[in-house]
Structure 1
Amino acid sequence: MPDTFPSPPSPPSRWGALAGLLTAEAVGGALVFVLAFGVFFYLAREVFAEKSAVFDDWGFAQMDRLRAAAPWLTWWVFKFTFFGSVAFFIPASLLVPLVLHRRGFVRYAFELLLSMGGGLALNELLKFYFQRPRPSTALIYQYGLSFPSGHAMMSMAYYGCLAWLVVQHTGRWGWGIALVAFALLIGLTRMYLHVHYPTDVVAGFAGGAAWLVLLRTGLRVFWKEKKVGAREAKAES
């Protein structure tokens, strides 16, 4: 009787591997994207189609009340808002990926660079499209357009990406939540200083969150495709 040997398992198909993306993470990401896109679309409609200033007036009123009750906060706000500025993000977006790369986290470095580069380009495109002037009541002069807030959007892109990488690598959700909260506080400083309307800030958060989900989904497909392609090449050799 001839010996029979089980045939080696065939490598997973490309479509089968991509089907593995349908995980709880992917479903959660889809929900975040839909919610973020919906918030951004609603705010854009309220500001530019409905010409509504209800939320902006309410948000500014809350910040003015806070500033009157605790004027000492203003000094801290000026310091805190720096961590969402171009002057901070340019070196941070280069140095942190460099450190990650040198420590062997090449993929993480790549993700952070893409998050910031793509987020900046998207923010500039949106500002150019909507062409909203900044508030005339700003406590400090800021150049550029207003909708959506660059501080809010880029903070969500940077600290949100870092939060995801920390949770992915260490599982420490506390650090991830702290990083996202840090991004939210930076956005609030823009409202406090009246350099952005509240709708600008919330739209910036929504735009940054939507961009992160798109980036994460695209990178998962890319890395999965790359992994499957490597397996297929190995199987054929």
Structure 2
Amino acid sequence: MNRFTSRLLALVGLLTVEVLFGLVLFIVAFAVFFYLARVVFVHHSVALDNWASGIVDGWRQAHPGLTGPVRMVTFFAALPFLLPASIIAPLLIRRAGHPRGAWEMLLAMAGSVLLNQLLKLYFNRPRPSNALLHTFGLSFPSGHAMLGFTFYGCLAWLLARHFKRPVWVAPLLLWAGLIGLTRVYLHAHYATDVLAGFAGGAAWLVAFRAGLKLFWREEEAVMQEERASS
């Protein structure tokens, strides 16, 4: 009975403002993803995609020199960058004295890659045929948007939480948003792919952190019980 009570109290202790905010964010992100999936695959609407493509095409015609910098920006959520970055960043975080933060980023990225590929296979949407760079794989949701949001969002959280650098949160999230915009600009993805990638990345990151926090809280409770009984 005492063990059950201690675990129940531990779960109640998780109901903080942070957790409630995370729950709201998860619900909103999931709802946005679900809505976009219905727009694309149930209603077969391309209004949003055509509108966004028209805007970025206007930018490209007005400023032809943008394409080079856009190609450079989009690289920072490509697998050739994210794969080594997702290993180096956790190593640096661990070296700074935050091993749990290191595991959090490593596992968050691994899970995001797997989830993104499963969603792509499930929805099976081809990429735009007029892409300005050679791209592989399926289109919905955007891997650059989803993995970029996971990586930079997780990094922003860790910098704010463990390194007391909240000033980096907004720039990192804006950077992830800019990377997503480059995918539409380059016609590597439709706008709905990118928005769904952001929503999927946000939902995954919140759900993953909540699950990890529950696991660590449970682990600490078990350790305390073992020390008390010894």
Range class of TM-score, shorter chain: over 0.9
Number of residue pairs the alignment of both structures matches: 227
Instruction: Indicate the RMSD between aligned Cα atoms, in angstroms.
Output: 1.2
Question: Cα offset for 1:80?
Answer: 0.6
Find the counterpart in structure 2 of residue 95 from structure 1. 88
Identify the match of residue 53 of structure 2 among 55, 60, 68: 60
For the residues of structure 1 that align with 2:209 and 2:136, how far apart are their CA atoms? 31
Find the counterpart in structure 2 of residue 4 from structure 1. none
The reply on whether 1:235 has 2:225 as its aligned counterpart is no
The reply on whether 1:37 has 2:34 as its aligned counterpart is no
For the residues of structure 1 that align with 2:131 and 2:163, how far apart are their CA atoms? 41
For the residues of structure 2 that align with 1:163 and 1:99, how far apart are their CA atoms? 15
Identify the match of residue 130 of structure 1 among 123, 126, 134: 123
Check whether the contact 2:125–2:140 (CA below 8 A) recurs between aligned residues: yes
Find the counterpart in structure 2 of residue 214 from structure 1. 207
For the residues of structure 1 that align with 2:59 and 2:117, how far apart are their CA atoms? 31
- Scaled by the length of structure 2, what TM-score is found? 0.96
- Scaled by the length of structure 1, what TM-score is found? 0.93
Question: Cα offset for 1:171?
Answer: 3.5
Most deviating of 169-178 and 49-58: 169-178
1:22-44, CA deviations, whole angstroms, 9 ceiling, x for partnerless residues?
01011100111000000000000
> Which residue identity does 2:84 align to in structure 1?
P
For the residues of structure 1 that align with 2:170 and 2:114, how far apart are their CA atoms? 26
1:109-144, CA deviations, whole angstroms, 9 ceiling, x for partnerless residues?
100001100000000000000000000121112011
Find the counterpart in structure 1 of residue 194 from structure 2. 201
More helix by share: 2
Identify the match of residue 158 of structure 1 among 128, 151, 154: 151
1:128-169, CA deviations, whole angstroms, 9 ceiling, x for partnerless residues?
000000001211120110000000000011000001111112
For the residues of structure 2 that align with 1:107 and 1:61, how far apart are their CA atoms? 45
Extract unaligned runs of 5+ from structure 1. 1-9
**Identical amino acids, percent of aligned pairs:** 53
Partner SS, residue 64 of structure 2: coil
Question: Cα offset for 1:46?
Answer: 0.5
1:169-199, CA deviations, whole angstroms, 9 ceiling, x for partnerless residues?
2343220111111111111000000010000
Where do 4+ consecutive residues of structure 1 move more than 4 Å? none
Find the counterpart in structure 2 of residue 185 from structure 1. 178
Find the counterpart in structure 1 of residue 101 from structure 2. 108
